């Protein structure tokens, strides 16, 4: 995408926005808003059509690895931390070794202090094993002089005991040629970092390997050769001797030729290792593999869910708000265009959780429109003209809309900072969606209403009535509902120790998950799968050594999606590749796609800690914002309600048989940012009532505020729930895993807004001796509102 065009277009749009905000004239504001909306839509449509959206591994297929560089050893034989230089060297080496896999989109990203994320989109399933082998093959390279009488010394030590001073025994990788091990010096004579290049050659004597050193390495190599001519030099990779050629001369001049009885595969493997040395060995912490077909199925599910969510939302708004609802759909369409266009402009990667975020945004986008229309209905009921009602509705709804969306952005930012790759995708789409929603509701919808009003087309607005205009004595049920809430929260907390580690998914405890898309009309039963896996062994790495062990217990799960049946098998972290290979080999005629996810226990434990930090940080961020925007009593009430919602969301999902994963943490934080919206609307209305001079005790005023906003609470929740239900029905297993806790959390959020938040505000005020009347009247109004801009 041309950066000059992007910069020019962005500048024009920004200037139009400033002019729009700074204009008070009715006609000019309407015309500027129209121009801004049209140009905004056109620019993002052009951006999307020009660039498209980058698809993540889970959507286009491929593999992703998280590898950790292990601490090196200094000259004294002591461990030394991984340096940034070492990591950059490792990334360069990995790029060189993996670039021949046929993927032009190979991405290497640093993570933490000692990790590298390797993403290889589009890699075919049959190439996955080779990719993993190449990653694991890149390891620490060193050269050591072997003991002259290695075999005799080893026999002496074996027979009489003792040690060979200054030497250590190391195994030979290829033991088919008679030698199982050699005695080599206990410290490296030359490190692999001095190798500049290596290549193979074939002549009458067989396969040879040409080894080239850099200038420093050439000098060091000649020194070693001069002192050890005719001795064997062991080439060692990760503590294993892969070859031990004899130094035939005392001067090499920077180039050495390794000859011997090599087969072509052996020569090329040794060349590749020699050419790509590392000071630090690598450990694979997590791995995921997705076949292209599995990714395309996920995209189909996402498109179906998005269209269905848009249609359901359109019907909902049109039936309830009639013409005004149809107008809001134009803003909703522009919201979607901005979201996709922004993803293209900034080259963000779309992931499966990102698709879920867009579908969820479709439902959440209605929130601002409902708030404005409910205000519009109230203003019209008070006797104001339609024009005055539209103006007043936007003015009075602005602060609640602004505060509500800021809290959602807070949780999105925290998800982006602390989340992994796929969760970042959800955070990005949700954040863009929130901003696009504000533009759609506050600019596009308002401009459309203004045009219809000025043209005489819109003369009155009809709205269905579900909740009667009366004051409900909600606060009288406080004690009863508090007891019920405590009981439900207790059950949701106790379910975790009751289920133990079974309440946690592989994201947090480590393990592997293999999902298979089954061809139409076929199936793999639990008995067939487990019988196939009986006696299967997998490679397990411990303390740097690889051994063959049984794969252990495997759990079977079957589910359905719009694109077909999914069979999922869960096992230990080292068992995933063996499970996948065995099932695919046995049932290749029944499997159309596959997905493998493996997470080691180390990274799983870290994800669990980061998730706890993310939830706590999200709650603290929302609390601090509410303290700044409202009174402390209101912030306390809101945060207690949010803690209540978060516990029920997580516990309810586990009660329904789910295992907590990173998707659940995303759901919890989404609920924290979204469910507080209803609470903010109630608090905003209460503050308005008090500042309006309404008399009465705070309990009665709270009842009035809750009753006045109840229709809005139920309508927005119902609209968003429609999108969530669509995800549950039409989404695949992963989307369903995400939508179920969202559904639980939204129900809990509606309940806690009415029966938890408000009573806690009163309780806290009484406990601290706070006068809410006085606090509200002394607070400072938020400066500019949208209608005054």
- For 290-318, the DSSP string reads E-HHHHHHHHHHHHHHHHHHHHHHHHHHH
Read off the tokens for 392. 């007043």
| Per-residue pLDDT, 139 | 57
Q: For residues 435 and 437, what is the distance between their CA atoms, to the nearest angstrom?
A: 5
pLDDT, greater one: 36 or 465: 36
When pLDDT is averaged across residues 29-45 and rounded to a whole number, the result is 89
Per-residue pLDDT of 89-117, as tens digits, reads: 778 777 777 765 444 567 788 877 788 88
| Per-residue pLDDT, 486 | 92
| Per-residue pLDDT, 277 | 60
When pLDDT is averaged across residues 130-159 and rounded to a whole number, the result is 77
Reading phi first (left if > 0) and then psi (alpha if -120 to 50, else beta), residue 604 is in alpha
Residue 647: pLDDT over 90: yes
pLDDT, greater one: 139 or 448: 448
Please tell me the number of Cα atoms within 13 Å of 568 on its side-chain side. Answer: 15
Q: For residues 734 and 557, what is the distance between their CA atoms, to the nearest angstrom?
A: 13
| Per-residue pLDDT, 83 | 73
When pLDDT is averaged across residues 374-387 and rounded to a whole number, the result is 81
Contact yes or no for 508/661 (Cβ under 8 A): yes
| Per-residue pLDDT, 464 | 67
Please tell me the number of Cα atoms within 13 Å of 344 on its side-chain side. Answer: 20
Q: For residues 722 and 362, what is the distance between their CA atoms, to the nearest angstrom?
A: 10
Percent of residues, the chain, with pLDDT higher than 70: 89
Q: What is the mean pLDDT of the chain?
A: 80
Contact yes or no for 461/376 (Cβ under 8 A): yes
CA torsion, points 83, 85, 91, 97, in degrees to nearest 10? -110
Reported as a pLDDT band with limits 50, 70 and 90, residue 778 is low
Residue 548: pLDDT over 60: yes
When pLDDT is averaged across residues 74-81 and rounded to a whole number, the result is 64
Per-residue pLDDT of 673-709, as tens digits, reads: 777 877 888 887 777 777 776 676 778 888 888 888 7
Selection from 261-270, 343-352, 454-463, 643-652 with the highest mean pLDDT: 643-652
Per-residue pLDDT of 475-498, as tens digits, reads: 888 788 888 999 999 999 999 999
Q: For residues 198 and 213, what is the distance between their CA atoms, to the nearest angstrom?
A: 9
Per-residue pLDDT of 282-312, as tens digits, reads: 777 888 888 777 777 878 877 888 788 878 8
Residue 760: pLDDT over 80: yes
HEC assignment per residue over 234-255: EEEECCEEEECCECCCCCCCCE
Contact yes or no for 741/668 (Cβ under 8 A): yes
| Per-residue pLDDT, 487 | 93
Q: For residues 320 and 714, what is the distance between their CA atoms, to the nearest angstrom?
A: 12
pLDDT, greater one: 387 or 488: 488
| Per-residue pLDDT, 73 | 61
Contact yes or no for 674/720 (Cβ under 8 A): yes
Residue 396: pLDDT over 90: no
Least confident segment among 459-468, 485-494, 558-567, 590-599? 459-468
Reported as a pLDDT band with limits 50, 70 and 90, residue 395 is confident
Query: Percentage helix, strand, coil, to 5, in the chain?
Result: 60, 15, 20
Render the burial of 183-204: b for 16+ CB within 10 Å, e for the rest: bbbeebbbbbbbbeebebeeee
CA 307, 308, 310 angle in degrees (round to 5)? 65
Sequence-distant (≥ 6) Cβ neighbours of residue 97 within 8 angstroms: 134, 135, 137, 138, 272, 276
Measured CA distances, 339 to 57, 304, 754 (Å): 20, 18, 32
Per-residue pLDDT of 172-189, as tens digits, reads: 877 666 788 888 988 889
Q: For residues 306 and 363, what is the distance between their CA atoms, to the nearest angstrom?
A: 10
Residue 76: pLDDT over 90: no
| Per-residue pLDDT, 649 | 92
Contact yes or no for 305/359 (Cβ under 8 A): yes
Contact yes or no for 684/713 (Cβ under 8 A): no
| Per-residue pLDDT, 771 | 66
Percent of residues, the chain, with pLDDT higher than 90: 4
List the end-to-end C-alpha distance of the chain, in Å, as a whole number: 34
Please tell me the number of Cα atoms within 13 Å of 323 on its side-chain side. Answer: 10
Contact yes or no for 208/202 (Cβ under 8 A): yes
When pLDDT is averaged across residues 636-644 and rounded to a whole number, the result is 90
| Per-residue pLDDT, 782 | 44
When pLDDT is averaged across residues 746-772 and rounded to a whole number, the result is 82
CA torsion, points 223, 227, 232, 235, in degrees to nearest 10? -30
| Per-residue pLDDT, 786 | 40
């Amino acid at each position: 995408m041309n950066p000059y065009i992007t910069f020019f277009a962005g500048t024009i749009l920004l200037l139009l926005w400033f002019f729009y905000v700074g204009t008070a004239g009715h006609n000019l504001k309407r015309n500027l808003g129209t121009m801004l909306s049209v140009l905004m839509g056109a620019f993002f449509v052009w951006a999307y059509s020009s660039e498209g959206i980058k698809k993540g591994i889970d959507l286009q297929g491929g593999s992703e690895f998280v590898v950790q560089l292990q601490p090196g050893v200094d000259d004294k034989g002591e461990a030394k931390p991984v340096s940034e230089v070492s990591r950059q060297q490792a990334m360069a080496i990995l790029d060189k070794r993996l670039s021949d896999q046929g993927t032009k989109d190979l991405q290497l990203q640093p993570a933490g202090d000692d990790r590298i994320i390797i993403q290889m989109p589009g890699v075919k399933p049959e190439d996955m094993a080779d990719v993993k082998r190449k990653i694991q093959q890149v390891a620490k390279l060193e050269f050591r002089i072997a003991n002259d009488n290695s075999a005799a010394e080893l026999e002496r030590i074996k027979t009489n005991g003792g040690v060979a001073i200054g030497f250590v025994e190391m195994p030979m990788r290829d033991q088919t040629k008679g030698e199982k091990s050699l005695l080599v010096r206990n410290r490296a004579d030359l490190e692999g970092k001095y190798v500049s290049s290596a290549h193979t050659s074939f002549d009458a004597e067989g396969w040879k390997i040409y080894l080239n050193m850099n200038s420093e390495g050439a000098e060091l190599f000649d020194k070693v050769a001069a002192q050890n001519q005719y001795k064997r030099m062991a080439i060692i990779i990760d503590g294993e001797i892969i070859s031990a050629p004899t130094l035939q001369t005392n001067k090499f001049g920077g180039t050495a030729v390794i000859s011997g009885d090599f087969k072509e595969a052996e020569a090329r493997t040794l060349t590749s290792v020699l050419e790509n040395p590392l000071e630090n060995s690598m450990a694979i912490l997590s791995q995921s593999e997705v076949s292209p077909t599995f990714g395309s199925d996920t995209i189909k599910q996402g498109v179906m869910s998005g269209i269905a969510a848009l249609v359901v939302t359109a019907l909902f708004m049109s039936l309830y708000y009639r013409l005004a609802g149809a107008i809001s759909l134009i803003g909703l369409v522009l919201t979607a265009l901005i979201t996709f266009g922004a993803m293209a402009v900034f080259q963000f990667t779309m992931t499966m959780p990102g698709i879920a975020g867009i579908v969820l945004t479709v439902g959440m986008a209605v929130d601002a429109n409902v708030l404005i229309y409910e205000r519009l209905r109230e203003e019209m009921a008070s006797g104001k003209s339609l024009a005055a009602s539209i103006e007043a509705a936007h003015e009075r709804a602005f602060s609640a809309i602004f505060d509500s969306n800021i809290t959602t952005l807070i949780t999105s930012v925290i998800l982006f900072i602390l989340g992994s790759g796929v969760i970042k995708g959800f955070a990005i789409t949700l954040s863009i969606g929130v901003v696009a929603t504000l533009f759609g509701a506050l600019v596009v919808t308002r401009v459309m209403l203004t045009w219809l009003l000025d043209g005489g087309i819109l003369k009155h607005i009809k709205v269905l009535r579900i909740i009667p205009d009366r004051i409900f004595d909600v606060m009288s049920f406080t004690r009863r509902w508090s007891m019920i809430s405590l009981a439900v929260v207790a059950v949701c907390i106790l379910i975790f120790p009751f289920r133990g580690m079974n309440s946690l998914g592989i994201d947090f405890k480590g393990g592997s998950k293999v999902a298979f898309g089954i061809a139409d009309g076929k199936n793999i039963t639990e008995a067939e799968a487990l019988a196939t896996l009986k006696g299967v062994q997998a490679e397990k790495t411990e303390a740097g050594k690889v051994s063959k062990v049984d794969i252990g217990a495997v759990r079977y799960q079957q589910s359905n999606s719009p694109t077909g049946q999914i069979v999922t098998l869960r096992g230990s972290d080292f068992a995933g590749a063996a499970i996948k290979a065995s099932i695919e080999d046995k049932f290749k005629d029944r499997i159309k796609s596959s997905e493998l996810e493996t997470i080691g226990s180390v990274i799983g434990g870290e994800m669990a800690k980061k998730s706890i930090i993310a939830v706590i940080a999200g709650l603290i961020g929302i609390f601090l914002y509410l303290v700044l925007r409202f009174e402390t009593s209101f912030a306390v009430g809101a945060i207690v309600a949010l803690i209540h919602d978060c516990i029920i969301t997580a516990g309810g999902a586990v009660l329904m048989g789910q295992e907590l994963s990173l998707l659940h943490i995303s759901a919890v934080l989404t609920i924290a940012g979204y469910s507080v919206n209803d609470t903010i609307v109630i608090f905003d209305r209460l503050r308005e009532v008090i500042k309006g001079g309404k008399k009465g005790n705070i309990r009665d005023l709270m009842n009035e505020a809750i009753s006045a906003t109840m229709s809005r609470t139920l309508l927005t929740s119902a609209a968003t729930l429609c999108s969530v239900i669509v995800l549950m029905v039409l989404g695949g297993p992963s989307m369903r895993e995400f939508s179920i806790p969202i559904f639980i959390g939204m129900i809990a959020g509606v309940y806690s807004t009415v029966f938890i938040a408000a009573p806690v505000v009163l309780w806290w005020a009484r406990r601290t001796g706070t006068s809410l009347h006085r606090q509200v009247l002394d607070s400072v109004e938020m400066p500019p509102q949208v209608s005054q801009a």
